[in-house]
Structure 1
Amino acid sequence: MASTSRTRTGRGRGRGRGRGRGSGSSSLPPPPSTLPLIIEEFFIIVYEDPLVKKALPKKFAGYLDGQEPAKVYLRAADCGPRLWTVEVLFDGQGRMYLDKGWENFAIAHGVDFGCYVHLKYEGDDVLTVKVFDGTMCRRYYYSDDEDTDDESDDDVKPCIHPL
């Protein structure tokens, strides 16, 4: 009798899975149009002067609609606690740009032509940044000083990039 029970259980599971697919089961995720818009991570590709203002994706700018910050704070992943203050511009047509302060961040982190810059929105206007070079490999940095709160953004102290 025990072997009969196993056989029935095995068959029952197989049929149940087959019927559930595409049948409007409540376990299916809602259609994309009903999901909340959450944009937390995105890339920008540096294909022009790396030191001029950088456009962020329109979708991300739309995500911040109604709460557009005047500035954001960039934090390089693996580079200590320092936050780089970067002014933000909105063009009134759905575009958001990293402006004043971006140049210092880019210099300090070796952002150059062909780099891919991954940004992750952490909330409270903070973006964590990872830089990938033209070979698609991530650059790792470390900070050689822990007390960076009194430093001016005008003093560009690069994170150290090990070879």
Structure 2
Amino acid sequence: MASTSRTRTGRGRGRGRGRGRGSGSSSLPPPPSTLPLIIEEFFIVVYEDPLVKKKLPNKFADYLHGQEPAKVYLRAADYGPRLWTVEVLFDGQGRMYLDKGWEKFAIAHGVDFGWFLHFKYEGDDVLTVKVFDGTMCRRYYYSDGEDTDDESDDDVKPCIHPL
């Protein structure tokens, strides 16, 4: 007659001890609730007037809690060293907005309704922006190395990190 005892291998629905999920020597990463919150990338979709202030995700604002910058510097990805100075507005209820200076960035990059903007926080208050148009295709910009604006360079932060 066949043996009626069963051996546990730690697989399947059983609660095997010493092997598989039940052991303390698992190579699985810790559960997400125990990991530090790091927000380096996020996106916004332009559903309203592209030239008015833009609300950033609440989790990103929470990530900066206690170190809220008065301004950030936006750089179009793959565009070169130009950084656009944009003032940041906090409304006192945990919401963060790109405010004064956003309009110049949006106009220069042709941002329009339905566009998708991917932001990557680089540290030092710098956000790199990838712009996707209404067809969901990435927009690439180029720089000829010269600033053709007649405006002052007061809204430009010098490049700290070489590209």
Q: Report the TM-score range of the alignment, normalised by the length of the smaller protein.
A: 0.7 to 0.9
| CA shift in 2, pair 1:43/1:5, >3 Å | same
| CA shift in 2, pair 1:90/1:72, >3 Å | same
Deviation, 1:67, is: 0.1
Aligned counterparts of 2:5 and 2:143: Cα–Cα separation in 1: 63
- Structure 1 range deviating more: 129-138 or 17-26: 17-26
- Structure 1 range deviating more: 10-19 or 59-68: 10-19
Q: Cα deviation per residue 1:32-84 (whole Å; 9 max; x = unaligned)?
A: 11101000000000000000000000000000000000000001111110000
TM-score norm. by structure 1 comes to 0.78
Deviation, 1:8, is: 19
Q: Cα deviation per residue 1:12-37 (whole Å; 9 max; x = unaligned)?
A: 99999995356554311111111010
| CA shift in 2, pair 1:120/1:162, >3 Å | closer
Q: Cα deviation per residue 1:63-112 (whole Å; 9 max; x = unaligned)?
A: 00000000000011111100000000001111000000000000000110
Tell me the secondary structure at the aligned position of residue 28 of structure 1.
Answer: coil
Equivalent position of 1:99 in the other structure: 99
Aligned counterparts of 2:63 and 2:161: Cα–Cα separation in 1: 33
Gaps of 5+ in 2: none
Tell me the secondary structure at the aligned position of residue 6 of structure 1.
Answer: coil
| CA shift in 2, pair 1:141/1:14, >3 Å | farther
Deviation, 1:137, is: 0.7
| CA shift in 2, pair 1:137/1:9, >3 Å | same
| CA shift in 2, pair 1:15/1:28, >3 Å | same
CA contact (8 A) 2:82 2:157 kept: no
Identity of aligned residues (%): 93
Gaps of 5+ in 1: none
| CA shift in 2, pair 1:159/1:33, >3 Å | closer
CA contact (8 A) 1:101 1:153 kept: no
- Structure 1 range deviating more: 39-48 or 27-36: 27-36
Structure holding more helix per residue: 1
CA contact (8 A) 2:83 2:156 kept: no
CA RMSD of aligned residues (A): 7.1
Count residues with an aligned counterpart. 163
2:160 aligned with 1:160: yes
Deviation, 1:152, is: 2.5
